[in-house]
C-alpha cells in the first residue's frame, strides 16, 4: 500500500531527526562545558609547579571529560552523515542502500539520543556543583537530551526494531555487509 509506505518513510525520517536532535544536544552540552572550562579558575593543577592560577581546562580529569564528550559527539555526527549518505544513495537507486538506512535508523535514533544524555551529564560534571545551578545552563542540556530518548519511539522500541525486524528478518545480511565495510575501511586506514 502506497499510503502505508509513505507513513513508514515519514516515521523513519522523524526518528532520524530525533537522533540528530540528540547529537545537537550533545554538541551544545560539550561546547558549553568547554567554554566554562576555558574560563573557570579553580584549584591547583596536578604536577604544575608554577603556582599560577589556571583554568580548569588544565586539570587532567576535566580534559578527559571534555575529550570523551568531543569523541562521542563526533561519533554521533559521523553516524548521522553516513546515514544521510545512505538516504541519498537509496534515492539514486544504489543497491543495498535502502536496507542500510532501514538498519541504521533505530541505531541513529537510539544510540545518539542515549549518548546525548551521557555527554550532557559529563558536561554537568565539568561544571561541578555549578552544573546544577540553573543560571549556568548545563542542566538544561541534560533535560533537553533526556526527552529525546522518548520521542518517536523509546530506546527499547528502537532496540526491538533493530534486532527483531532489521537484523532477524534478513538473517543479519545488512549488518554483516556494514561490518565488512567497516573492517575494510579500518584496514585501509
- Cβ atoms of 83 and 40 within 8 Å: the answer is no
- Give CB contacts under 8 A, 24+ apart, made by 133-141: 136/36, 137/32, 138/29, 138/32, 138/33, 138/36, 141/25, 141/28, 141/29, 141/32
Choosing from 52, 114, 134, 152, which is the catalytic residue?
A: 152
Q: Which residues contact 117 (CB under 8 A, 6 or more apart)?
A: 142, 145, 146, 149
Residue with cell 567497516: 182
Determine whether 152 is an active site residue. Answer: yes
Q: Which residues are catalytic?
A: 152
Amino acid at each position: 500500500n502506497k499510503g502505508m509506505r509513505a507513513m513508514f518513510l515519514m516515521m523513519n525520517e522523524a526518528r532520524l531527526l530525533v537522533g540528530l536532535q540528540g547529537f545537537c544536544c550533545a554538541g551544545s552540552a560539550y561546547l558549553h562545558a568547554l567554554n566554562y572550562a576555558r574560563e573557570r579558575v579553580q584549584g591547583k593543577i596536578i604536577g604544575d609547579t608554577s603556582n599560577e592560577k589556571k583554568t580548569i581546562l588544565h586539570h587532567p580529569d576535566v580534559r578527559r571529560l571534555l575529550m570523551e564528550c568531543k569523541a562521542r559527539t563526533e561519533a554521533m555526527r559521523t553516524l548521522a552523515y553516513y546515514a544521510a549518505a545512505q538516504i541519498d544513495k537509496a534515492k539514486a537507486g544504489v543497491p543495498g542502500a535502502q536496507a542500510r538506512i532501514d538498519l541504521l535508523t533505530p541505531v541513529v535514533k537510539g544510540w545518539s539520543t542515549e549518548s546525548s544524555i551521557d555527554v550532557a551529564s559529563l558536561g554537568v560534571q565539568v561544571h561541578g556543583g555549578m552544573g546544577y545551578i540553573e543560571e549556568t545552563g548545563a542542566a538544561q542540556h541534560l533535560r533537553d537530551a533526556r526527552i529525546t530518548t522518548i520521542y518517536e519511539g523509546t530506546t527499547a522500541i528502537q532496540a526491538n526494531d533493530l534486532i527483531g525486524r532489521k537484523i532477524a528478518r534478513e538473517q543479519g545480511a545488512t549488518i554483516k555487509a556494514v561490518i565488512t565495510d567497516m573492517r575494510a575501511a579500518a584496514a585501509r586506514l
